[in-house]
A and B are shown apart, each in its own frame.
Chain A
Amino acid sequence: MSDFFAMGGYALFVWSAYGLCALVVLWNALSARTLHRAALADARRRLSSAAP
């Protein structure tokens, strides 16, 4: 098991690359969701304020 984490001496490089990948994927998922929610709330506000 510790062999696996050691990555043949390249642990720093391999795990940094995979860790960063996880962060980029996470940022993408969260930012897309936040953007859609904000746009939806904004659109609803426009609709209700313009309602007769």
Chain B
Amino acid sequence: MANFTWFYRLASPPTSYAAAGRLWLWFAVPAVLLIAVGLYGGLVSAPADYQQGDAFRIIYVHAPSAWLSLLGYSVLGVSAGIGLIWRMKLAHALAAAVAPIGASFTFLCLVTGSLWGRPMWGAYWAWDARLTSELILLFMYLGYLALRSSFDDVSRADRASAVLALVGLVNVPIIHFSVNWWNSLHQGSTVLRVGGPAMPASMLVPLLESFLGFTLLFAALSCVRLRAEILMRERRPTWLQDGLTVSASHE
């Protein structure tokens, strides 16, 4: 028989609060370094694209934010589902924590994409499958956040918004495969494609650094927001007075 006691211990508010408090800096420091190195590489070291010139450099902020928009919604949908099915407060807290982060990067993805589209396609916007499904993703995030804010009671907000989050999960594979399923204006995958990345190393390495950096940033931000969401779900967090969470007073 597998022993799941470690899982229950991790899911207890004082433990997860303290764990997130220790973890976030371990994510934040390499995140800042990798983003700095990756964006420097993208802006300075990488050569201009032979077709797109310097406009292609927008990819170093556009592609990682697109990835975070999907990662964020996947975490949101899956943890909302876990919270709904197993009535697990920590899962609801995580869902609520990642939603604003994911929404902000979905917005960044759409705007940076349109800043690239204007000089390259000749239009800021097109009602294309990839662009439209990403816009719907932003509306799913905003709908989730708006629904939450309409409840005063956190646990009722958790349950109601979780249903909406689960329904929106359908959109994630649609966005990912939209460039293959429909005749899209948006280009297909450049990095994760059959036959390897369609980019020279001088362009690819900064992009991978940027991807990793932004993913770690997402993790760091999630930890800090998760701590707040855990506290909001505690009526009397007497454990705050224990030595266990003394570090909280420094923030």
Kindly list chain B residues whose C-beta atoms are within 8 Å of the C-beta of A4.
43-44
Kindly list chain B residues whose C-beta atoms are within 8 Å of the C-beta of A47.
236-238, 240-241
Neighbour of B228 across the interface among A13, A17, A35, CB < 8 A: A35
Contact with B along A16-27 (1 / 0, CB 8 A): 111011001101
Would you give the shortest CB distance from B226 to chain A, in whole angstroms?
A: 9
Interface Cβ pair total, 8 Å cutoff: 105
Contact A21 B108 (CB under 8 A): yes
Neighbour of B112 across the interface among A20, A27, A38, A50, CB < 8 A: A20
Pick the 8 closest A-B CB pairs, nearest first: A39-B228, A8-B54, A39-B231, A7-B54, A32-B224, A10-B55, A21-B61, A36-B228
With a 10 A CB-CB cut-off, give which of B44, B101, B231 has the most chain A CB atoms: B231
Q: Count of A residues near B, CB < 8 Å?
A: 32
> Chain B residues in contact with chain A, CB under 8 A?
35, 39, 43-44, 48, 53-55, 57-58, 61-62, 65, 100-101, 104-105, 107-108, 111-112, 115-116, 118-119, 217, 221, 224-225, 227-229, 231-232, 234-238, 240-241, 248, 251
Kindly list chain A residues whose C-beta atoms are within 8 Å of the C-beta of B53.
8-10
16 additional contacts (CB under 8 A) given A7-B57, A17-B115? A7-B54, A8-B54, A9-B53, A10-B53, A13-B115, A13-B116, A17-B62, A18-B61, A32-B221, A33-B224, A35-B225, A36-B224, A40-B228, A40-B251, A43-B237, A46-B235
CA distance A36 to B247 in the complex (A): 13
CA distance A49 to B231 in the complex (A): 16
CA distance A40 to B39 in the complex (A): 35
Q: List 5 A-B contacts (CB under 8 A).
A: A17-B61, A21-B108, A28-B221, A42-B232, A47-B238
Contact B54 A36 (CB under 8 A): no
User: If the complex has contacts A39-B232, A42-B231, are A10 and B54 also in contact, measured as CB distance less than 8 A?
Assistant: yes
CA distance A25 to B65 in the complex (A): 11
